[in-house]
């Protein structure tokens, strides 16, 4: 019998297609899992509306659910946008350990503009805040490129969204 716990565990094994060091569960794109009459319904919200990995994630989730012996129903939820606050603590640590600067937590309150540039992002290699922005546009819309003046390593920074 398929349980929600087994489904969550299976989904936690799926790496994000663009950042494979973190699972789609730790990235926070999987919102809910519900089981009814042999059908597993998964709600997920992509990191960006035009996310190029949307179909890949949907197909991988459906495949894992079928492997559990259930019929998948994958629904993309767009009424509440994804934010970097949805990344789990485990996911943040995986990002840091892999050379990504995890995003800073957002402030509570009214909606705010996305801050594209920050003066004090910590280097994931040496923990220094003596870093500079190299390019606001990284390999994906949610990342930018930074450089550490202390250890002289380039690294990617997650934008706080």
Among residues 148, 146, 147, the alpha carbon closest in space to that of 128 is found at 148
Q: What is the model's pLDDT at position 109?
A: 55
Q: What is the model's pLDDT at position 21?
A: 94
Backbone angles phi, psi at 132, to 5 degrees: -135, 155
pLDDT digits (tens, 9 = 90+) for 39-59: 999 999 998 888 888 999 999
Sign of the dihedral defined by the CA atoms of residues 82, 154, 95, 76, in that order: positive
pLDDT digits (tens, 9 = 90+) for 125-157: 999 999 999 998 888 777 889 999 999 999 988
Task: Answer for the pair 41, 73: CB distance below 8 angstroms, yes or no.
Answer: yes
Give dist(CA 151, CA 128) in Å, integer: 8
> Which tokens in the block code for residue 26?
């730790």
Residue 82 or residue 116, greater confidence: 82
Q: Domains, the chain, ranges and CATH? A: 4-76 (3.30.300.130), 100-158 (no CATH)
Give dist(CA 94, CA 105) in Å, integer: 16
CA 95 to the chain's CA centroid: 10
Give dist(CA 160, CA 98) in Å, integer: 18
In the 8-state DSSP scheme, what is residue 115? B
Sheet of 100-101: strand order equals 100-101, 154-158, 143-148, 131-135
């Amino acid at each position: 019998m398929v349980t929600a716990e087994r489904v969550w565990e299976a989904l936690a094994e799926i790496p994000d297609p663009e950042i494979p060091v973190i699972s789609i569960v730790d990235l926070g794109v999987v919102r809910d899992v519900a089981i009814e009459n042999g059908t597993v319904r998964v709600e997920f919200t992509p990191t960006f509306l035009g996310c190029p990995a949307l179909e890949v994630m949907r197909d991988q989730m459906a495949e894992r659910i079928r492997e559990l012996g259930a019929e998948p129903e994958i629904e993309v939820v767009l009424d509440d946008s994804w934010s970097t606050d949805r990344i789990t603590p485990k996911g943040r640590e995986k990002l840091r350990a892999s050379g990504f600067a995890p995003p800073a937590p957002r402030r509570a309150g009214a909606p705010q503009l996305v801050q594209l540039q920050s003066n004090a992002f910590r280097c994931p290699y040496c923990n220094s805040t003596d870093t500079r922005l190299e390019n606001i546009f990284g390999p994906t819309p949610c990342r930018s490129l930074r450089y550490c003046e202390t250890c002289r390593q380039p690294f990617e920074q997650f934008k706080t969204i």
